[in-house]
């Protein structure tokens, strides 16, 4: 091995590129930008603003945070629903006026004042909501108009009552506590905000209402088609928004105790900057409470810091405006390009130099056309027969792309019935001692079909590995299963990183993305026994009663795993350097094993396996249709014994009848061939084989 | 500045680094014309169709064969890489050995340069035009030249009377075909740059007349109805374009992988299980998609006298007439040699015009 090759090998072992792609699939990466912005603004202002980190400053800040935070949360709800509310500042002003008038002048109790204030907010919100949600007017223009109307109402009313407000002061301890009081060192309103934020977070992320809101914002028509009352949802969003704004106003009134004529002016700019910067998409359907609060904190720190630095108000507003423009730009670019970025970095091939291939020019693997003698079964009906199995009565069971398990009736296999429907893509199958069929269903997990055709889920989850970034407890591609003598089901999961239809992306990666899992029906537990396998595929229990054979497709090798006996838990190589990509393994009548090679290795692809960066660029730049892939048009079926010696092979050069052979099953002197993308199965007579042999008997003995 | 741009282009796959391939559309809209054509003869490595006084002849390796009877007319000590007939003379290009003349006024003459002729055309009774694919590479080594981005092709003018050989134009990325037009300007196909040039024999100046072809043009044969038949090695393939821009992989592939198994254009494909396969080539439901990506293709294109594409005949990814590098008219019919699949095809009435 050359030095440069060792370096490449080391680099791909030490630096796991695939982690980056998995990080990007996380929902919380959306918060990365607002979080970075928050850190940035703190880093900038902490050194230059006096007393930035002192408790008094933070306490004061948290009081203001309560007011702005409530407004931002309200706006967030409207924006998630796909709208916008520019009238928050005017509503805020009306709310403050109401609060002061009811408390100071009318002398209502705290509850009464609060109810009146929230009521005014609700009315403002209902006006907005009625026009936008029910009458379906444009949110932007409508709320721009209500911004002016509410502000005008405020301008008309406020001068008439301002003197009264200033002259009176409520005799309410609760009111004082709300305005001045502290709990655990922080202002009371802050705790109110914290409680509301927590409730909102739960509603938005876990509640029915939150999900509906996100659905309406994401796609109105789809939400409507899904039975969601879009009009009412939008209406309610505006009402909630204005009520939260009014609550913010109430806090403000309690804290300041008086009002000026410019109250709430420009608040929409602050709130909008906070939401957009926080990553609440202007297009709707994306956003969370945490993001909104991060945005609000950013804006608050920015504006109070600028104030502390004695920067004039207009300049302050200008800076805020520039931040808003930047945030809108980032929001658009991020939403538009996030999936592109994910696509570009998700596929991360690794170094996978294969050992030299076993010769196909001499020995048992010399190509021939023996498979061309096969008789087709279900020509034109089969679609997705990845594996097949026979019961003692000679019925043939196989899967289809539509999620069915078909039962073909012997001996000629011209008639069939739908035996069961799984809903996924049935792959490997095995019969247990009671005649139940264990089936691996791609995208779903391990299932069991009773002799009556009832489908039950055995397992779809295994233990999550500690080091995984993406959640790998759910099964993406259960591939082939077999049943141990004690009844436990051992099965392979080919890849944890890709869905079934993206299997060739896994081939391109050639990383150990797969695992071997054992399900114990007695305890109903699932446990991963081996992981980091390179597309583990066929599984077959050995005749020795203590090990299973399994294939690693992209590594071109067959392994043996000991589940019992003195070598329990050990892994051994049985065959290395296969000239093709091994798929299913099944028992043969003479005490050996059948192995399907789904395709052949090609020197051009083998070379690229040593050059991961070449494959990564190929995945990014070249269309999937043109990717370099294993030569799946020519495969073969071969026979090997317990020692791993290859005994003979059956080929179909060019794949005229059987391209991409994924499995084969011997039954009463005939070898049946399967191909997941073929429109048929094949039956090849084996004159020398035991004409009475049935696989079920080989596992569970002849029926007595 | 340009270095920076190249760097950015390489990152983003723009400009020179773009691997987009023009689509087969308009006059190049795919059909199954070549697959439906009548099979006249099976002939391994059928190439260089020429109509002589004795009828249609073709080359097969070192032999020249009469198509109708299958009788051997001549045999040489090297592969016949080009043929031309005019005024009773048969000009024969021999791979790595130069040009020889049989019959007519200049019978028996031979030229050692250009050494690796790829196409021949008579300009007049005493002048022969020769293209040389690459100066140091045999015509059969065209795949290596393509993958190494060779640009040492040339157009030569041979004076048969004096024995003088003049290089008219050099530095071509494989000169694959030549045709006379009746004026001082001749057509030359520059294969690896996917274009046809108009070359002025007097000044040696070249200008592209047909560019951005989705395939690698080979020989150019005159059509009686005024116009030309353009034949092609193969279509361009996105993955090949990508590999051409991946020097590290390309170099190792050329050095370590046996030539038949290169991921490179070919005259025929799918012959061995060790050949590379691309995703869309997988046979699904018993069918090879005709629109799959492919390394080999059959394409003959008719162009107007001004070299504007008019119509084309195809053998697509699932077809059995790939690598059609030679075409010639005889009477109303067009004969096409599929070198990749070793046969000669007849397109009835194709030469009668559209």
Would you state the structure tokens that stand for residue A39, as one six-digit string?
Answer: 């850190």
State how far residue A231 is from chain B, nearest Cα, in angstroms. 44
ipTM over cut 0.90? yes
Percent of chain B past pLDDT 90, that is, above it, reads 77
Q: Tell which residue, A10, A5, A19, A3, has the closest CA to residue A472.
A: A19
Residues B246, A617: C-beta atoms closer than 8 Å: yes
**What pLDDT, on a 0 to 100 scale, did the predictor assign at position A169?**
77
Question: Who's near A449: CB < 8 A, 6+ residues apart?
Answer: A405, A419, A420, A422, A436, A437, A439, A455, A456
Sign, CA dihedral A368-A373-A377-A379, equals: positive
CA nearest to A508 within chain B = B279
Specify the pairing of strand B55-60 against strand A415-421: unpaired
| Facing residue for B277 by CB, picked from A602, A620, A678 | A602
Chain B residues whose beta carbon lies within 8 Å of the beta carbon of residue A626: 237-239, 278-280, 293
- Strand, coil or helix: what is A136? coil
The DSSP letter of residue A580 is E
> What is the CB-side half-sphere exposure of residue B345 using CA atoms within 13 A?
30
- Express each pLDDT in A428-478 by its tens digit: 999 998 999 999 998 899 999 999 999 999 999 888 888 888 888 888 899
H/E segment holding residue B104: none
- Express each pLDDT in A329-340 by its tens digit: 887 788 788 888
Percent of chain A past pLDDT 90, that is, above it, reads 55
Give the C-alpha separation, A675 to A379, whole Å. 12
**What pLDDT, on a 0 to 100 scale, did the predictor assign at position A38?**
86
Domain B27-278+289-352 sits in CATH 2.120.10.30: yes
Residues A608, B277: C-beta atoms closer than 8 Å: no
Chain A residues whose beta carbon lies within 8 Å of the beta carbon of residue B253: 604, 607
**What pLDDT, on a 0 to 100 scale, did the predictor assign at position B34?**
94
Chain A residues whose beta carbon lies within 8 Å of the beta carbon of residue B256: 603, 607
Give the C-alpha separation, A482 to A536, whole Å. 13
Number of neighbours of residue B240 by Cβ within 10 angstroms:
26
Residue count of chain B, please give it: 354
Residues B282, A633: C-beta atoms closer than 8 Å: yes
**What pLDDT, on a 0 to 100 scale, did the predictor assign at position A106?**
83
Residues A679, B276: C-beta atoms closer than 8 Å: no
Give the C-alpha separation, B176 to A698, whole Å. 64
**What pLDDT, on a 0 to 100 scale, did the predictor assign at position B313?**
95
- Indicate if the pLDDT at residue B86 is higher than 90: no
State how far residue B294 is from chain A, nearest Cα, in angstroms. 9
- Express each pLDDT in A279-302 by its tens digit: 888 888 888 899 899 999 988 888
- Express each pLDDT in A130-155 by its tens digit: 999 999 999 999 999 999 999 999 99
**Average confidence (pLDDT) over A355-366:** 91
CA nearest to A680 within chain B = B285
| Facing residue for B275 by CB, picked from A631, A659, A677 | A631
Q: Cα-flanking dihedrals φ and ψ of residue A436, to 5°?
A: -80, 145
Residue count of chain A, please give it: 704
Give the C-alpha separation, A597 to A660, whole Å. 8
In this structure, of A78-87, A160-169, B117-126, B335-344, the range with the lowest mean pLDDT score is: A160-169
Quickly list DSSP for A350-370.
Answer: ---PPPPPPPSSSSTT----G
State how far residue A677 is from chain B, nearest Cα, in angstroms. 5
Residues B256, A607: C-beta atoms closer than 8 Å: yes
Give the C-alpha separation, B43 to A299, whole Å. 80
| Facing residue for A626 by CB, picked from B238, B246, B275 | B238
- Cis-peptide, bond into residue A411, ω within 30° of zero: yes
State how far residue A634 is from chain B, nearest Cα, in angstroms. 6
Sign, CA dihedral A112-A113-A117-A120, equals: positive
The DSSP letter of residue A374 is P
In this structure, of A254-263, A352-361, A559-568, A633-642, the range with the lowest mean pLDDT score is: A254-263
Give the C-alpha separation, A145 to A139, whole Å. 10
Give the C-alpha separation, A70 to A504, whole Å. 49
Chain A residues whose beta carbon lies within 8 Å of the beta carbon of residue B237: 626
- Indicate if the pLDDT at residue A516 is higher than 70: yes
**What pLDDT, on a 0 to 100 scale, did the predictor assign at position A171?**
75
State how far residue B7 is from chain A, nearest Cα, in angstroms. 15
- Express each pLDDT in B205-247 by its tens digit: 999 999 999 999 999 999 887 799 999 999 999 999 999 999 9
Secondary structure of A291-345 as H, E, C letters: HHHHHHHHHHHHHHHHHHCCCCHHHHHHHHHHHHHHHHHHHHHHHHHHHHHHHHH
- Indicate if the pLDDT at residue A50 is higher than 80: no
- Express each pLDDT in B291-313 by its tens digit: 999 999 999 999 999 999 999 99
Question: Who's near B238: CB < 8 A, 6+ residues apart?
Answer: A622, A623, A626, B19, B20, B21, B293
Q: How sure is the predictor about A1, in pLDDT bands with cuts at 50, 70 and 90?
A: low
Residues A677, B285: C-beta atoms closer than 8 Å: yes
CA nearest to B262 within chain A = A604
**What pLDDT, on a 0 to 100 scale, did the predictor assign at position A472?**
85
Q: How sure is the predictor about B23, in pLDDT bands with cuts at 50, 70 and 90?
A: very high
**What pLDDT, on a 0 to 100 scale, did the predictor assign at position B354?**
63
Give the C-alpha separation, B318 to A192, whole Å. 71
**What pLDDT, on a 0 to 100 scale, did the predictor assign at position A595?**
95
- Helices A173-180, A188-206: axis angle to 10 degrees equals 80
- Express each pLDDT in B95-140 by its tens digit: 999 999 998 888 889 999 899 999 999 998 899 999 999 999 999 9
Instruction: Tell me which of 2.120.10.30, 1.10.3720.10, 2.60.40.60, 1.10.490.10 is the CATH number of domain A370-462+470-700.
Output: 2.120.10.30
Q: Which residue out of A367, A372, A381, A631 would a mutagenesis test of the B interface target, given it has the greatest number of B Cβ atoms within 10 Å?
A: A631
Chain B residues whose beta carbon lies within 8 Å of the beta carbon of residue A383: 285
Chain A residues whose beta carbon lies within 8 Å of the beta carbon of residue B238: 622-623, 626
Would you state the structure tokens that stand for residue A563, as one six-digit string?
Answer: 């589940």
**Average confidence (pLDDT) over A564-589:** 93
Model pTM score: 0.83
- Strand, coil or helix: what is A257? coil
**What pLDDT, on a 0 to 100 scale, did the predictor assign at position A478?**
92
Sign, CA dihedral B295-B288-A630-A513, equals: positive
| Facing residue for B286 by CB, picked from A604, A626, A679 | A679
- Strand, coil or helix: what is A687? coil
Number of neighbours of residue A449 by Cβ within 10 angstroms:
22
Q: How sure is the predictor about B14, in pLDDT bands with cuts at 50, 70 and 90?
A: confident
Mean pLDDT of all residues in chain A? 89
| Facing residue for B258 by CB, picked from A603, A632, A633 | A603
**What pLDDT, on a 0 to 100 scale, did the predictor assign at position A129?**
94
CB A595 within 8 A of CB A558: yes
- Indicate if the pLDDT at residue A258 is higher than 80: no
Q: Cα-flanking dihedrals φ and ψ of residue A171, to 5°?
A: -95, 70
Residues A622, B282: C-beta atoms closer than 8 Å: no
Sign, CA dihedral B110-B113-B118-B122, equals: negative
**What pLDDT, on a 0 to 100 scale, did the predictor assign at position B178?**
95
Q: Tell which residue, B51, B52, B73, has the closest CA to residue B60.
A: B73
- Express each pLDDT in A203-228 by its tens digit: 998 999 999 999 999 998 999 999 99
Beta bridge partners of B207: B198
Residues A603, B257: C-beta atoms closer than 8 Å: yes
Q: How sure is the predictor about A66, in pLDDT bands with cuts at 50, 70 and 90?
A: confident
- Express each pLDDT in A660-686 by its tens digit: 999 999 999 999 999 999 999 999 999
Number of neighbours of residue B299 by Cβ within 10 angstroms:
31
| Facing residue for A632 by CB, picked from B238, B277, B293 | B277
Mean pLDDT of all residues in chain B? 92
Would you state the structure tokens that stand for residue A484, as one six-digit string?
Answer: 């141990």
B174 φψ region: left (φ > 0), alpha (ψ -120 to 50), beta (else) = left
State how far residue A618 is from chain B, nearest Cα, in angstroms. 7
The rounded radius of gyration (Å) of the Cα atoms in chain A is: 34
Residue found by looking up tokens 């006024």 in the block:
B105
Measured between its terminal Cα atoms, the distance across chain B in Å is: 50
Q: How sure is the predictor about A310, in pLDDT bands with cuts at 50, 70 and 90?
A: confident
**What pLDDT, on a 0 to 100 scale, did the predictor assign at position A610?**
92
CB A610 within 8 A of CB A647: no
Q: Encode B121-137: b = buried (16+ Cβ within 10 Å), e = exposed.
A: bbbeeebbbbbbbbbeb
Distance of CA B56 to the CA centre of its chain: 19
Q: Encode A661-696: b = buried (16+ Cβ within 10 Å), e = exposed.
A: bbbbbbbbebbbbbbbbbbbbbbbebeebeeebbbb
Chain A residues whose beta carbon lies within 8 Å of the beta carbon of residue B250: none
**Average confidence (pLDDT) over A610-614:** 92
Residues A633, B237: C-beta atoms closer than 8 Å: no
């Amino acid at each position: 091995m050359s030095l440069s090759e060792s370096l490449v090998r080391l680099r791909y072992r030490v630096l796991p590129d695939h982690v980056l792609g998995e990080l990007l699939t996380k929902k919380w990466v959306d918060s990365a930008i607002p979080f970075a912005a928050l850190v940035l603004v703190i880093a900038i202002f902490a050194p230059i603003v006096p007393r930035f980190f002192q408790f008094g400053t933070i306490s004061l800040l948290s009081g203001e945070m309560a007011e702005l935070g409530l407004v931002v949360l309200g706006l967030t709800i409207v924006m998630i629903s796909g709208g916008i509310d520019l009238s928050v500042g005017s509503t805020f002003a009306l709310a403050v006026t109401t609060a002061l008038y009811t408390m100071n002048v009318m002398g209502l109790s705290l509850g009464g004042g609060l109810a009146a204030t929230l009521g005014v907010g609700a009315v403002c919100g209902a006006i907005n909501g009625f026009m936008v949600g029910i009458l379906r007017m444009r949110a932007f223009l409508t709320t721009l108009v209500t911004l002016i109307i509410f502000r005008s109402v405020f301008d008309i009313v406020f001068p008439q009552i301002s003197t009264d407000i200033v002259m009176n002061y409520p005799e309410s301890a609760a009111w004082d506590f709300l305005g001045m009081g502290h709990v655990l060192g922080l202002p009371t309103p802050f705790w109110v905000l914290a409680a509301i934020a927590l409730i909102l977070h739960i509603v938005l992320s876990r509640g029915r209402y939150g999900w509906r809101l996100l659905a309406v914002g994401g796609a109105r028509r789809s939400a409507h088609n899904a039975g969601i009352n879009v009009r009412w949802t939008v209406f309610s969003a505006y009402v909630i928004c204005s009520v939260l704004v009014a609550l913010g106003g109430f806090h403000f009134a309690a804290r300041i105790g008086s009002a000026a004529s410019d109250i709430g002016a420009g608040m929409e700019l602050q709130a909008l900057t906070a939401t957009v910067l926080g990553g609440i998409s202007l297009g709707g359907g994306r956003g969370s409470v945490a993001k909104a609060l991060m945005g609000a904190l950013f804006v608050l720190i920015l504006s109070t810091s600028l104030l502390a630095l004695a920067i004039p108000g207009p300049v302050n507003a200008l800076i805020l405006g520039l931040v808003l423009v930047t945030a809108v730009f980032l929001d658009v670019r991020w939403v538009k390009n996030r999936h592109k970025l994910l696509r570009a970095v998700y596929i991360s091939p690794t170094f996978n130099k294969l050992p030299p291939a076993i010769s196909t020019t001499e020995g048992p693997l010399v190509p021939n056309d023996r498979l061309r003698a096969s008789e087709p079964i279900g020509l034109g009906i089969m679609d997705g027969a990845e594996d097949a199995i026979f019961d003692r009565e000679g019925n043939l069971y196989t899967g289809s792309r539509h999620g069915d398990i078909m039962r073909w009736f012997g001996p000629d296999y011209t008639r069939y019935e739908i035996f069961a429907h799984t809903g996924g893509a049935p792959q490997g199958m095995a019969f247990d001692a009671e005649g139940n069929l264990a089936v691996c269903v791609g995208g779903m997990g391990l299932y069991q079909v009773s002799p009556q055709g009832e489908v039950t889920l055995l397992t779809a989850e295994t233990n999550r590995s500690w080091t995984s970034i993406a959640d790998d407890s759910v099964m993406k591609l259960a591939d082939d299963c077999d049943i141990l003598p004690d009844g436990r089901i051992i099965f392979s999961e080919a890849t944890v990183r890709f869905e079934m239809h993206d299997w060739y992306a896994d081939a391109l990666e050639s990383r150990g993305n797969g695992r071997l899992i054992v399900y114990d029906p007695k305890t109903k537990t699932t446990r991963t026994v081996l992981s980091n396998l390179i597309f583990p595929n066929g599984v077959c229990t050995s005749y020795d009663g203590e090990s299973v054979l399994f294939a690693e497709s992209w590594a071109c090798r067959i392994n043996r795993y000991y589940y019992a006996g003195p070598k329990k838990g050990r892994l051994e190589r049985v065959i290395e350097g296969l000239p093709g990509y091994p798929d299913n393994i099944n028992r043969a009548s003479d005490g050996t094993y059948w192995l399907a090679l789904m395709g052949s290795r090609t020197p051009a692809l083998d070379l690229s396996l040593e050059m991961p960066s070449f494959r990564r660029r190929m995945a990014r730049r070249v269309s999937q249709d043109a990717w370099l892939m294993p030569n799946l048009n020519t495969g073969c079926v071969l026979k090997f014994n317990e020692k791993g010696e290859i005994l003979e092979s059956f080929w179909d050069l060019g794949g005229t009848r059987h391209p991409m052979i994924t499995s084969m099953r011997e039954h009463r002197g005939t070898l049946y061939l399967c191909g997941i993308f073929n429109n048929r199965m094949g039956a090849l007579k084996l004159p020398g084989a035991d004409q009475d042999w049935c696989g079920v008997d080989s596992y569970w003995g002849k029926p007595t | 500045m340009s270095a920076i741009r190249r760097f950015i282009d390489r990152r983003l796959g723009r400009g020179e680094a773009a691997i987009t391939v023009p689509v087969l559309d308009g006059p190049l809209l795919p059909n199954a014309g070549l697959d439906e054509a009548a099979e006249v003869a099976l002939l391994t490595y059928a190439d260089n169709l020429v109509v002589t006084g004795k009828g249609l002849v073709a080359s097969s390796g070192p032999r020249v064969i009469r198509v109708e009877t299958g009788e051997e007319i001549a045999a040489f000590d090297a592969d016949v890489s080009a043929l031309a007939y005019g005024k009773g003379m048969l000009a024969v290009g021999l791979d790595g050995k130069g040009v020889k003349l049989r019959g007519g006024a200049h019978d028996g003459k031979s030229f050692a340069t250009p050494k690796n002729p790829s196409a021949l055309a008579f300009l007049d009774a005493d002048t022969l035009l020769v293209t040389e694919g690459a100066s140091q590479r045999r015509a059969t080594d065209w795949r290596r030249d393509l993958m190494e981005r060779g640009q040492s092709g040339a157009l030569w003018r041979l004076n048969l009377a004096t024995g003088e050989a003049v290089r008219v134009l050099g530095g071509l990325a494989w000169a694959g075909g030549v045709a006379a037009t009746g004026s001082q300007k001749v057509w030359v196909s520059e294969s690896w740059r996917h274009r046809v040039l108009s070359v002025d024999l007097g000044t040696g100046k070249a200008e592209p007349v047909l560019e951005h072809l989705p395939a690698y043009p080979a020989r150019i044969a005159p059509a009686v109805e005024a116009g030309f038949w353009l034949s092609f090695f193969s279509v361009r393939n996105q993955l090949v374009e990508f590999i051409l821009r991946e020097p590290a992989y390309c170099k190792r592939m050329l050095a370590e992988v046996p030539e038949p198994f290169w991921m490179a254009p070919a005259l025929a494909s799918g012959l061995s299980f060790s050949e590379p396969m691309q995703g869309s080539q997988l046979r699904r439901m018993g069918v090879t998609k005709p629109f799959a990506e492919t390394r080999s293709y059959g394409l003959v294109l008719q162009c107007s006298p001004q070299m504007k594409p008019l119509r084309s005949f195809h053998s697509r990814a699932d077809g059995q007439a790939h690598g059609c590098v030679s075409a010639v008219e005889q009477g109303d019919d067009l004969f096409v040699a599929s070198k990749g699949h070793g046969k000669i095809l007849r397109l009835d009435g194709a030469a009668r015009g559209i």
